Structure 1
Amino acid sequence: MRLFITATDTNVGKTYTTKKLIELAAKQGLRPGVCKPIETGVATIPLDGKELLQTCQRFNQFYKDIEVNDIVFYSFKLPAAPYVAKGEEKIDIGLISEKIEELEKSCDILFIEGAGGLMVPIEEDYYMIDLIKESKAQALLVTPSQLGCINQTLLSLEALRNRSITHYWYVNLFKDKEEFFTITYPFYKKHFGQVPLELTSVFDNYLHRD
């Protein structure tokens, strides 16, 4: 199983969510695995990748014997979209696919964390959403709770539907948490019927999908 954690934008809570998913998977008796194919804004070591690795090491023996660069395949110093941050370097999508397949052999479920949002460019005409499609993973869209998130959420969900990517979504309540239930929740409730505020329920739906 592969689940790709993406978001409407950067700093929405992908790494936080991925760490929680690793813990939830372990509680279900699954051996979790993780990778973050591309990380930007890396001064010395990939900090998001380090957090993910340390979390996974608690539950999967295989991860105790590898380094952070084994789960972060490309890292760049500039805190920008991969296409910009990489400069003249080429990101080999085939290599990313190979490394994902290799990591998958050592776990029951592999969590793949993206960089930025869905339409963040990796190459000039290749975006994060294309990597989701190519990785043959289902997607979990993490959305924020601040003003403006309705537009971001609807656009992102539409993009996933247009690519025929099976997906789930989850509201990470951390910004404007109190205001969310006044300015955003009423529309979500009317439009979607159910609003996914509990990651445990979202993950359970994923595990028990048809």
Structure 2
Amino acid sequence: MSKRVFITATNTGIGKTFTTLSLLQECETLGIKAGVFKPIETGVAQICNDGTKLLEKCQEFNNNFRKFMVGDIVPYRFTLPAAPYVAKKDIKIDIDFLLEKIDILEKECDVLFIEGAGGLMVPVEKDIFMIDLIKIFDSTTLLVTPSRLGCINDTLLSIEALKRRDINFEWCVNLYEDKDSFYEVTFPFYKDYFEEILILQNDRKKILERLLSS
């Protein structure tokens, strides 16, 4: 069985797909055969934007994934750009079905990156949230946080939620918003509060190695 890594974030629009694509590239550099899975994507019009990007990049590096279509990588696709619970309307998200998909995909790779939708507390069903899928899928986790003003609160709340559920995780900053002021506005607290701050753009290899060894 391959290593399962769940990519989550403090909210939507933080850069989960960008992070996953970056880690796919790093896997190629290190000679690791990677796979991708995005259980649910919302806001899908004619094409599945995130799922297509993930699959095409994965297929560049892993020939085993060239037999898969976007529907294999993103089994649940909904038009409304909303939380899965809202976007799915009357459709039930079948967890066993998702686990079956994971079993198929992970046979073709050494590490399977599973990308969530939105943040940790985004509802999938009334009593199932994105954070619950991490344990259901028996995966380790990478929490992606933004560099914009206000990110300290979101980062600490998300880390607290993961710790309360005893979930094994790493976290990193995606340095893209307010990046010119990040080291003045946010970094001083992070430096004093955390033992180490990993920046996606600088520490991609270290992030991947931590995830694979956890």
TM bucket (normalised to shorter chain) is: over 0.9
Structure 2 partner of 1:202: 207
Normalised by the size of structure 2, how large is the TM-score?
0.95
What count of residue pairs does the alignment treat as equivalent? 209
Deviations 1:78-133 (A, max 9, x none): 00000000001111011111111110001010000000000000001100000111
Equivalent of residue 184 in structure 1, options 180, 186, 208: 186
Secondary structure in structure 1 of the residue aligned to 2:120: coil
Equivalent of residue 146 in structure 2, options 144, 147, 156: 144
The 4+ residue runs of structure 1 with deviation greater than 4 A are none
Normalised by the size of structure 1, how large is the TM-score?
0.97
Equivalent of residue 108 in structure 1, options 107, 110, 126: 110
- Map 1:10-29 onto structure 2 (within 5 A): 10-29=12-31
Cα distance in 2 between the residues matched to 1:207 and 1:131: 19
Instruction: Please tell me whether the aligned partners of residues 10 and 154 of structure 2 are also in contact (alpha carbons under 8 angstroms).
Output: yes
Structure 2 partner of 1:169: 171
Deviations 1:45-102 (A, max 9, x none): 2110000000000111121122111100100000000000000111101111111111
Cα distance in 2 between the residues matched to 1:40 and 1:50: 13
Is 1:84 the counterpart of 2:86? The answer is yes
Structure 2 partner of 1:123: 125
Cα distance in 2 between the residues matched to 1:70 and 1:206: 24
Cα distance in 1 between the residues matched to 2:205 and 2:32: 15
Shift of 1:205: 2.0
Cα distance in 2 between the residues matched to 1:207 and 1:121: 28
Q: Which runs of 5+ in 1 are unaligned?
A: none
Percent of residue pairs bearing the same amino acid type: 55
Is 1:70 the counterpart of 2:75? The answer is no
Shift of 1:193: 2.4
Equivalent of residue 8 in structure 2, options 6, 10, 19: 6
Is 1:41 the counterpart of 2:39? The answer is no
Is 1:57 the counterpart of 2:59? The answer is yes
Q: Which runs of 5+ in 2 are unaligned?
A: none
Matched residue type, 1:88? D
Deviations 1:122-148 (A, max 9, x none): 001100000111000000000000011
Secondary structure in structure 2 of the residue aligned to 1:177: coil
Instruction: Please tell me whether the aligned partners of residues 31 and 59 of structure 1 are also in contact (alpha carbons under 8 angstroms).
Output: yes
Matched residue type, 2:78? F
